[in-house]
Amino acid sequence: MASSEDVALAGERQAAARRLLANPIVTARTHPEDFAVIRAHSEWLIQQFDRVLGYELTVAAEHARLAKAGLVRSVTRPLLRPTGASFSPRTYSYLALCLATLLDSAPTLAMDRLAAGVREAASEAGLDLDPTGRMSERRAFLAAVRHLVELGAVNAPGDALAADAEGGIGTAELEVRADAVRHVVAHPPHATSDPREFLTAMEADEPSGDAAAEVALRRLIAETAVVYRDDLSERQRERLGRHQWRAVAELGALLGCDAEIRAEGVALVMPDDAEDDEGLSVFPSSEPAGQAALLLMERIITRLPANDVPARAVPVPAELLKSEITALLDPASDLQRRWARTALSHIPDPDHLASRVLDLLRDAGLMRRFDSEGPRFEGWSVLAAAARYCGRPYHSSEAPAGGGEGV
């Protein structure tokens, strides 16, 4: 039996690994306690990430960077502004230009000097971008800078960014952490004229050897909320069937997680404290979108035919989805009144929250939109993993293989 000291040591290491998986850049400023643990266990973390997932971990004096490989198309999610809106192509352009400017900057740099450097870099690249121009340009530029602040690559004093958004680019001094700036982009892009070609080159090829294939399988399980067998190629399904138990055991030792292995697929189950790891896909959660998503899932499933849940994919009528999410997020609903009695600074906007709820259910592998061309509530289906929230026994005309009951 392991001693209490061994259990505590393993727990520390696994919490640090979860933090890095959720936030691939961890700095002494953004996560001081987590970074101290990462530094203390850096040798173990470097070795285990390389062996289990084939990821390269760099631990420096003030930051740690986990460089991931493979699964570019399947797990990449957009960066978000504070409003929850996704970064636009223009904002990504400003982020890249900021990084190019900051790489050669002094340890401190005024905001207006950064803006001037970005404008010059954009001109050299043949881009019509000027952060000192229209309000929309300033907001895109400042969203990029704010993201670098959140990563810990730069530090901005007080509310300088919020003030500049309304009054123009000011002279607030930024503290530049050059080492962290260099590691923001884990895999510096090579020369290519086609973005699709760049993404294809970043995606790992189908492994041929057994060892590489097992690493690819562990990556898939670790980075995907639910791995559905029907989504895999025949070769991947065969590999999952042969190696799934060993894969989840390896991931459990690294991340301190459990797993559900069912007929429809495999899903990792993180410990309760993983909800504090922002960026790690956790469902359900206590924040407003997580609460609303859980309630919506329960309401939808109870209104679907009993024999259809948990089928692999059950279409949800657009009228049902719209009516349920509208009722749930109505200002007079029980959920909204509950939020009003808490310490939330504001009650979330229903329209914006509806998009976040659907995105969360999609990322959690509980729903999927098979037709994205129509109106917002059309084309959605409930997936097998939603069965755990239906609150009624499993019924299926098809007997699952291996005694599974639905993920």
| Residue at 195 is within a domain | no
Same structural domain for residues 288 and 393? yes
> In this structure, are 241 and 131 located in the same domain?
no
Q: Is residue 198 part of a domain?
A: no
Residue closest to 202 by CA, chosen among 355, 75, 363: 75
Candidate ranges 94-103, 272-281, 306-315; pick with highest mean pLDDT: 94-103
Does residue 38 sit in the same domain as residue 145? no
Q: What is the pLDDT of residue 76?
A: 67
Q: Note whether 174 and 109 are within 8 A (CB).
A: yes
Q: How far apart are CA 147 and CA 385, in angstroms?
A: 33
**Is the pLDDT reported for residue 281 higher than 90?**
no
Segments in 224-260 forming alpha helices (H): 234-255
Question: 350-363 and 318-328 helices cross at what angle (nearest 10)?
Answer: 120
Tell me the Cα Rg of the chain: 23
Q: Which tops the pLDDT comparison, 173 or 389?
A: 173
Can you give the pTM of this predicted structure? Answer: 0.81
Q: Is residue 331 scored above 70 in pLDDT?
A: no
| Domain extent at residue 368 | 283-403
Please state, as a whole number, how many other Cβ atoms lie within 10 Å of the Cβ of residue 210.
11
User: Are residues 288 and 374 both part of a single domain?
Assistant: yes
What tokens does 137 get?
A: 């340009």
Is 173 within 8 Å of 110 (Cβ atoms)? yes
Tell me the per-residue pLDDT of 393-407, one tens digit each, with 9 for 90 and over.
434 333 333 333 334
Chain segment 114-172, per-residue pLDDT in tens: 999 999 999 998 999 999 888 889 989 999 999 999 888 999 876 667 655 556 788 88
Residue 55: which residues within 8 A CB-CB, separation 6 or more?
A: 49, 66, 67, 68, 69
Residue 357 covered by a domain: yes
Could you tell me if 333 and 244 lie in one domain? no
What percent of the chain has a predicted confidence (pLDDT) above 90? 42
The encoded tokens of residue 158 equal 């007080």
- Is residue 308 located within the same domain as residue 364? yes
Main-chain dihedrals φ then ψ at residue 127, nearest 5 degrees? -105, 140
**Residue 105 identity (one-letter amino acid):** S
Mean pLDDT of 321-326: 90
Strand partners of residue 241: none
Spatial contact of 58 and 65, defined as CB atoms under 8 Å apart: yes
Last-in-domain residue among 252, 275, 298? 275
In DSSP terms, 382 is beta-bridged to: 314, 367
**pLDDT surpasses 60 at 289:** yes
How many structural domains compose the chain?
Answer: 4
Domain co-membership, 353 together with 309: yes
Q: What confidence category does residue 256 fall into, taking pLDDT thresholds of 50, 70 and 90?
A: very high
In this predicted structure, the answer to whether residue 251 has a pLDDT above a threshold of 90 is yes
d(CA 143, CA 140): 5
Strands in 173-176's sheet, in edge-to-edge order, are 108-110, 173-176, 154-155
Statement to judge: residues 287 and 266 lie in one domain: no
Determine, yes or no, domain membership for 240. Answer: yes
The tokens for 11 are: 């727990």
Same domain as 288, residue 398:
yes
Look at residue 17 and tell me if it is in a domain: yes
- Domain boundary at 248, 275, 302, which? 275
- Asked, for residue 382, whether it belongs to a domain, the answer is yes
- Which stretch of 74-78, 326-330, 370-374 has the lowest confidence by average pLDDT? 74-78
Q: Which helix (H) or strand (E) holds 367?
A: strand 367-369
Which tokens in the block code for residue 297? 């899932």
What's the CA gap between 237 and 176, in Å, rounded?
Answer: 47
* Domain annotation covers residue 98: yes
What average pLDDT score do residues 341-355 get?
Answer: 64
Do 63 and 98 belong together in one domain? Answer: no
User: Which CATH number is 108's domain given?
Assistant: 1.10.10
Q: Closest by alpha carbon to 74, among 282, 355, 270, 368?
A: 368
- Range with lowest mean pLDDT among 250-259, 286-295, 299-308: 299-308
Residues 67 and 113 in one domain: no
User: pLDDT tens digits for 183-193?
Assistant: 898 777 666 66
Residue that finishes a domain, picked among 47, 73, 99: 73
Per-residue pLDDT band at 59 (split at 50, 70, 90): very high
Residues 238 and 302 in one domain: no
Residue 201 lies in a domain: no
